[in-house]
Each structure stands twice: as structure tokens, then as C-alpha cells.
Amino acid sequence: MNILILGSGGREHAFAKKISESKRCKQLFIAPGNPGTAQFGINVPIQVTDIASVKQFCLNNKMDMLVVGPEAPLVEGITDAFRSEETKHIGVIGPDAFAAQLEGSKAFAKSFMKKYHIPTAGYLEVTTENIEAGFAFLDTLASPYVLKADGLAAGKGVVILNDLDEAKEELRAMLSGKFGAASSKVVIEEFLDGIEFSVFALTDGQHYVLLPEAKDYKKIGEGDTGLNTGGMGAISPVPFVDDTLWQKVINKIVTPTIEGIKSENMDYTGFVFFGLIKVGNEPFVIEYNCRMGDPETEVVIPRIEDDLVEVFQDAISKKLEGKKLTFSSQSAATIMLVSGGYPGDFEKYKRITGVDDVQDSIVFHAGTTEKDGDILTSGGRVMAITSVAENFQEAIRISLKNAEKIHFEGKYFRRDIGFDL
Ligand code: AMP
Ligand code: GLY
């Protein structure tokens, strides 16, 4: 099969490595890819939301499968575009635009969860029309107050505040366009106090297979302090996810979600990412994503023993019923090396050295570019160093040792991934 992966991060590098290992993969392309993905396939200079060019490339080069990494092209309707006559033979991993609202609209996701009785925080949907009801709802809640821009806001649309007056002010600011059109609608949520983790399923719209669970570390600072990032590290499996919790997640969250997808007749062949929180001993949904996580993919994929292309084919031909994936019993951990200043302003194009000295880890490129034979930084998150070992502590130890061997000006990483477990 000829396969195109869309994206350019560590997630897509991890997919490219795994897909290239499949005996069913003939030619692999990545658009736009990065210097890491270029080790496993051919990078094509097309941007992920340039849907017309992606389609044309797939037709010209006889693709059989399209694997969509990030959410933006899904929310913008790439899957719908591929359902047209000339491309409908190309299998797409990723839901259509209607189903992608589970990630693209917080209000859509909340009303879906309410309809299918999926445990989640109590909420109210607010626009300028019912802002007074928003203030009144805030009055009924205890601090802290959770305000979410309805639409995609580059990971910045969730604001958590301790002070009631500030929360009301923030609600007004969001509705007045603080996050552009994304916050013309706001979801106010009850605050859930617990520990977060993530579960992933691949669905064919009717049935699903589960992937290994993971926990990511979103804050820039050690001890989970400072600003939110795309993710500074991750581990899989998650020690506190025991059989009892796993069964509750399946029975109360995953199965009803897939039932809901089926009942709503969603065109959903792809990943469902359940962002969960354990409150006491009960799991609740914080958010859905319609794609795999990054850096979660960099610890989840290395633990999957199956041929991923076969699994994708089963999903595309709606044959996931009764299927189950095999996971390695070992632990995987990843540590993200980031540019100094991230998630605020940072400088790009710093030369990266030392990658060849890394031993016993996989280095996934996240934000890198190649120039005249050198690898340079090109993003906030630069490289994810993944290790697999008997337990996550040992995997972290190996990744930390290798993090010291890679050099670029301004390099920063967290040394405490897994500290809370
Ligand atoms: P989201 O984009 O919805 O995943 O929210 C970003 C982060 O905000 C989550 O990872 C949580 O740490 C936090 N958060 C979101 N919703 C809630 C909630 N209802 N209660 C507590 N924390 C939340
Ligand atoms: N690491 C969180 C995400 O991919 O959304």
C-alpha cells in the first residue's frame, strides 16, 4: 500500500516509524514531515490544511491510505473531501468534520456527553445573549472557575481562575473576542479535582480497539508549575490505572461514547482521545480529541506489538469487531526538549548536535528542520526522547541521560516527568 501521513511533529515521526515497519506498507510519504520522518519515508512539501493539494498528491501518486495526524484538517473537513467520487477508494484515518466537533467545539462535546450519560463536569453554554445566566451560574459554583472557549484556540482557550469577580470579567472578555471567533461561545464548567490521564481508542464507527493509556505533563515547569504547553513528557502505562479503573473507563466512558458515535451516524474512522480525570475512584471526561495526542503517541505506539497498517485497514473496512491489540508489558517514557522561552516567544534555527551519541532511546523530531546537512530547531517543542524499560522510572533515567547528550542553544526540559506517581 502507498500511505500518506499528514503532520510534522513527534506524533507523525512515531507513526512514520511504526508504519514503515509494516509488511503492508510499500511507499510511505509524509506531508510536510520533518527530518525525522525523512528517515522512514519521503517528505512532501504540502501544508496539512491545504486539502486540495493533499487530494491532488494522493491521486497523482496512487495513495491507498491517508493518516491524519493533527486536528485542524479534520475540523476543516479533509475526510469529507476524500469521500468524493475520485478519492473515495482512499481509506482515511480521521473522522469527518461533523464528528470532529467532538474536539472542535467544547459545547458540542458537552451536549454529546450529556445525551449519552457520560460522566463529565457540570456546565453551562454561554454567549453574549445569555451572559447574565453565565454570571448566575458562576455564582452557584465553588472556586476555582473553569472557562473554555468553544472553538480551537491553539491550546490556550481554557482559563482557570480562583476569584469570582475575575472569572466574570474573563467571561465578558472571552465573549468579546479574546480568542477571536473561538470564544464567541464559552463553556463554563464545574472544577474537577483529581489526577489526569488519557485513554485512546481506534474506532470504525461501530466497534473499537483500545490502545495503551498514557499520562502527559502539560506544564512548562517542574512540579507542574507555570504555563501550559503542548506537552513536556509522557509515560505509558499509568501506574494508578488498575483493572478496576480501566473497567470503569470502558463501561462508563469508552463504550457509551462509541455507542453515541454510532447512534449519531457519525462518519468516524479514526482515533478517539479521551482526556480523563480520576476524582476519588471515578473517571470523568475533561475533553475529547479526534486524533492521537502528542507526546502521548511517542509512548503509546512503541508499546503496540501489532502491525499498525493491518489495524488501520480493519478500521477502514469496518472489521474491528472482536479485535484486540497486544501491548508490550514494558513501560515507555518520553521527555521533550524545548526551545528556551517556550511556550512564550523563542528563537528558532539553533543548530542541534549530539543526536548520534544517543544510546538506548528513540529520538522523535518534533520541531526541527534541515539546512545544508545540519539539523536546526524550528519550533517550541524540538525533540522527544523515548525510552522503553521494565518500569517508567528506569525509562525516564535513560531518557534523561540522553537528554544531556543533545545540545542546542536554549535547550530546556523537565527532569521530573512521573514525579507525582
Ligand atoms: P482541555 O483543553 O479541556 O483539556 O483543558 C485543559 C486543561 O485544563 C486540562 O488538561 C485540565 O488540566 C484543565 N481542566 C479543564 N477542564 C477542567 C475541569 N472541569 N476541572 C478541572 N480542570 C480542568
Ligand atoms: N498532549 C495533549 C494533546 O495532544 O492534546
Give the pLDDT of residue 301.
98
Give the pLDDT of residue 128.
95
Q: How far is the CA of 406 from the centre of ligand 1 (A)?
A: 33
Q: How far is the CA of 158 from the centre of ligand 1 (A)?
A: 7
Inform me whether the pLDDT recorded for 88 exceeds 90.
Answer: yes
Mean model confidence pLDDT for the chain: 97
Q: What is the pLDDT of residues 311-357, one digit of tens each?
A: 999 999 999 999 999 999 999 999 999 999 999 999 999 999 999 99
Q: Which of 148, 215, 216, 288 to mutate to test the pocket of ligand 2 (most atoms within 8 A of CB)?
A: 216
Element (H, E) at 398: helix 392-403
Is the CB of residue 336 less than 8 Å from the CB of residue 297?
Answer: no
- Which ligand 1 atom minimizes the distance to the CA of 191? 20
Q: Where are the beta strands (DSSP E) in 25-77?
A: 27-32, 42-43, 65-68
Q: How far apart are CA 73 and CA 282, in angstroms?
A: 34
Ligand having the closest approach to the CA of 216: 2
Q: Dihedral through CA 232, CA 355, CA 237, CA 301, nearest 10?
A: 100
Q: How far is the CA of 373 from the centre of ligand 2 (A)?
A: 31
Classify 64 as helix, strand or coil.
Answer: coil
Inform me whether the pLDDT recorded for 158 exceeds 80.
Answer: yes
Element (H, E) at 221: strand 219-221
Long-range pairs, 114-120, Cβ under 8 A, ≥24: 115/260, 116/256, 116/257, 116/259, 116/260, 116/263, 117/256, 118/252, 118/253, 118/256, 118/257, 118/260, 118/285, 119/252, 119/253, 119/282, 119/283, 119/284, 119/285, 120/284, 120/285, 120/286
- Which ligand 1 atom minimizes the distance to the CA of 193? 21
Inform me whether the pLDDT recorded for 43 exceeds 90.
Answer: yes
Using 50, 70 and 90 to split pLDDT, how confident is the model at 49?
very high
Give the pLDDT of residue 399.
98
Domains and CATH numbers, the chain: 2-93 (3.40.50.20), 123-189 (3.30.1490.20), 195-403 (3.30.470.20)
Give the pLDDT of residue 420.
92
Q: Angle CA(377)–CA(300)–CA(89) in degrees, nearest 5?
A: 90
Q: How far apart are CA 344 and CA 77, in angstroms?
A: 30
- Which ligand 2 atom minimizes the distance to the CA of 216? 1
Give the pLDDT of residue 153.
87
- Which ligand 1 atom minimizes the distance to the CA of 121? 19
Using 50, 70 and 90 to split pLDDT, how confident is the model at 231?
very high
Q: How far apart are CA 92 and CA 82, in angstroms?
A: 8
Give the pLDDT of residue 271.
98
- The reported pTM is 0.97
Q: How far is the CA of 306 from the centre of ligand 1 (A)?
A: 32
Give the pLDDT of residue 286.
98
Edge-first strand order for the sheet with 331-338 is 215-216, 233-236, 331-338, 381-389, 362-365
Give the pLDDT of residue 67.
98
Is the CB of residue 37 less than 8 Å from the CB of residue 14?
Answer: no
The residue-averaged pLDDT of 43-72 equals 98
Give the pLDDT of residue 337.
98
Inform me whether the pLDDT recorded for 36 exceeds 80.
Answer: yes
Neighbours of 256 (CB within 10 A): 18
Read off φ and ψ for residue 69, nearest 5 degrees: -75, -65
Q: How far is the CA of 230 from the centre of ligand 2 (A)?
A: 6
Q: Which three cell numbers stand for residue 118?
A: 457520560
The residue-averaged pLDDT of 41-70 equals 98
Inform me whether the pLDDT recorded for 198 exceeds 80.
Answer: yes
Give the pLDDT of residue 82.
98
Inform me whether the pLDDT recorded for 155 exceeds 80.
Answer: no
**Percent of the chain topping pLDDT 70:** 100
Inform me whether the pLDDT recorded for 154 exceeds 90.
Answer: no
The residue-averaged pLDDT of 391-397 equals 98
The residue-averaged pLDDT of 3-14 equals 98
Inform me whether the pLDDT recorded for 283 exceeds 90.
Answer: yes
Using 50, 70 and 90 to split pLDDT, how confident is the model at 384?
very high
Give the pLDDT of residue 287.
97
- Whats the size of the chain, residue-wise? 421
**Cα–Cα distance list, 224 to 229, 283, 384, 414 (Å):** 11, 21, 18, 10
Give the pLDDT of residue 411.
98
Helix axes 131-140, 164-175, angle to 10 degrees: 150
Q: How far apart are CA 211 and CA 216, in angstroms?
A: 15
Pick the closest to residue 182 from 105, 259, 93, 71 (CA basis): 105
Using 50, 70 and 90 to split pLDDT, how confident is the model at 235?
very high
Give the pLDDT of residue 10.
98
Q: How far is the CA of 153 from the centre of ligand 1 (A)?
A: 14
Give the pocket of ligand 2 (CB within 6 Å): 216, 230-231, 289, 293-294, 296
